[in-house]
Amino acid sequence: MLLTRPALPDLSINDEAVLRADKKKSFRFGRCAVGEKAIYMGGWYFDCCRYVPLANVRRIFKRVAMSKGGFTGKGVFASIPYCVVECRDGRTVVTQYRHEGQVDALLDHVRRVFPKIPTMSAAAEKKILDEKRAEEAMYRKDLGTNARATIAELEKATDFLQKRNDLVTALATASRRSWVGRLVNPSYKWVALAITLMAFAAGIWGAWVWWNGTREDGIYIALIGFAIVFLFSGARVLPTMRDNKKALAAELEKVRADMADYLAGYDAFPVPARYAHPSTLARMIRSVRMGRAESAAEAYEDMKTVLRAINSSVTVSRAEYDEITAIKPMFLLEDYR
């Protein structure tokens, strides 16, 4: 039996064989997947268990809810990402994610394969347009020949980089994971492991005493113990083979090496491979347009200076916040070298 069901009752694909085949060859991005016929959305407990036919998708976009102390226009905070599909009748289907990079990868895929489907909410599109107009008002109108040549050079490098959005997303994700891994005290995970083991032991003991009828509250002890085990396991706070500093560093080095191999085919890429991201180049272009730099080297140093100065006391736009969260971990890992 096919687990997938329509996300909305009257938006369905009647041919189950077609749906099954489409889901099987779809591109998976964490809890959701993109096929040729439908977008497969995650539910409360299962991944890719609902679908919306592509013919009924008006737009698909990322929504970010913030934890306490979240986005206020200042600094970088923890976020809870969602993938949102807006249907043509105005209804929406939402899936919560743990990792924002997976939603970004899904949207990159949609932009490549289905360029006519908008990947921003209508409100976000309007706000970004307003912010872009305000930013353009600060651009110099009398840029010199060198500045215009630098902008052309950086735009060419951006086009080359965007041909491999998979590498770009992987580099940003690995950098963020590695930076967060450095900030987390490793002893916390071992404390969580100790608590989990004790809870597991309590669950086994509670089940045993309940089975033997020696204590009436044994079943409650067992349930509480196993609930703690599942809670800690689901929250991914336990140390694993992949979620530790050594594994995260190895993952980052591999992604950096892959990016360096790709950039080897470009003559004199303007930034080091470890910082290769369209947002890095976009901020460099902005430096030139605002008259703070003329050459790529000057724009690179100015971009780092501005990025280094952004902290919790600096107010930024939503678009700039997205840029910062994408690239700042890359520079923090290397102390802006």
pLDDT 10s digits, 281-302: 999 999 999 999 999 999 999 9
Q: Would you place residue 6 in the very low, low, confident or very high pLDDT band (cuts 50, 70, 90)? A: confident
Angle in degrees, 0-180, between the axes of helices 296-309 and 145-162, rounded to the nearest 10? 70
Q: Residue with structure tokens 């206020």?
A: 72
Place of tokens 């309940």: 210
112 CB-near residues (< 8 Å, 6+ apart) = 165
42 Cβ contact list (under 8 Å, min separation 6): 30, 31, 32, 48, 49, 50, 95, 96
- The answer to the question of residue 308 being in a domain is yes
Q: What element of type H or E holds 312?
A: none
Q: Return the higher-pLDDT residue of 150 and 228.
A: 150
pLDDT of residue 75 exceeding 50 = no
In a domain, 299, yes or no: yes
Residues 157, 269, single domain; the answer is yes
Q: Confirm if 68 and 86 have CB atoms less than 8 A apart.
A: no
* 170: confidence class by pLDDT, cuts 50, 70, 90: very high
Asked if residue 244 and residue 291 are part of one domain, the reply reads: yes
Distance of CA 181 to the CA centre of its chain: 16
For residue 94, pLDDT beyond 80: yes
Residue 133 lies in a domain: no
Distances (CA, A) of 266 to 154, 163, 259, 269, 295: 12, 12, 11, 6, 18
Residue 193: per-residue pLDDT: 67
Asked if residue 171 and residue 267 are part of one domain, the reply reads: yes
Please count the structural domains in the chain: 2
Structure tokens at 325: 């969260």
Average pLDDT over residues 140-154: 91
State whether 108 and 145 are in the same domain: no
Answer for the pair 174, 257: CB distance below 8 angstroms, yes or no. Answer: no
Does 34 score more than 80 pLDDT? yes
**If you average pLDDT over residues 190-199, what whole number do you get?**
69
164 & 51 share domain: no
- Residue 123: pLDDT band (50, 70, 90) is confident
Q: Which of 2-11, 81-90, 225-234 bottoms out in mean pLDDT, i.e. has the lowest?
A: 225-234
| pLDDT at position 326 over 50 | yes
- Whether residue 217 is contained in a domain is answered as yes
Domain boundary among 95, 114, 133: 114
Range from 14-18, 134-138, 227-231 carrying the lowest mean pLDDT: 227-231
C-alpha 61/C-alpha 73 separation (Å) is: 20
pLDDT at residue 99 in the model: 84
Q: Are residues 79 and 170 in the same domain?
A: no
Asked if residue 10 is part of any domain, the answer here is: yes
Helix (H, G, I), strand (E, B) or coil at 184: coil
| Whole-prediction pTM | 0.59
> Which residue reads 């678009």 in tokens?
319
User: Both 145 and 107 in a single domain?
Assistant: no
Q: Could you tell me which residue, 22 or 185, shows the higher pLDDT?
A: 22
Residue 134 belongs to some domain of the structure: no
Separation of alpha carbons 200 and 238, rounded Å? 14
Q: Considering the domain boundaries, does residue 298 fall inside one?
A: yes
Residues 312 and 272: their CA atoms lie apart, in Å, by: 27
State how far the Cα of 64 lies from the Cα of 77, in Å rounded to an integer: 11
Q: Would you give the end-to-end CA distance of the chain in angstroms? A: 55
132 in a structural domain: no
Give me the domain span that covers residue 23: 5-114
Q: Does position 43 have pLDDT exceeding 60, yes or no?
A: yes
On whether both 168 and 314 belong to a single domain, the answer is yes
Binned at pLDDT 50, 70 and 90, residue 311 comes out as: confident
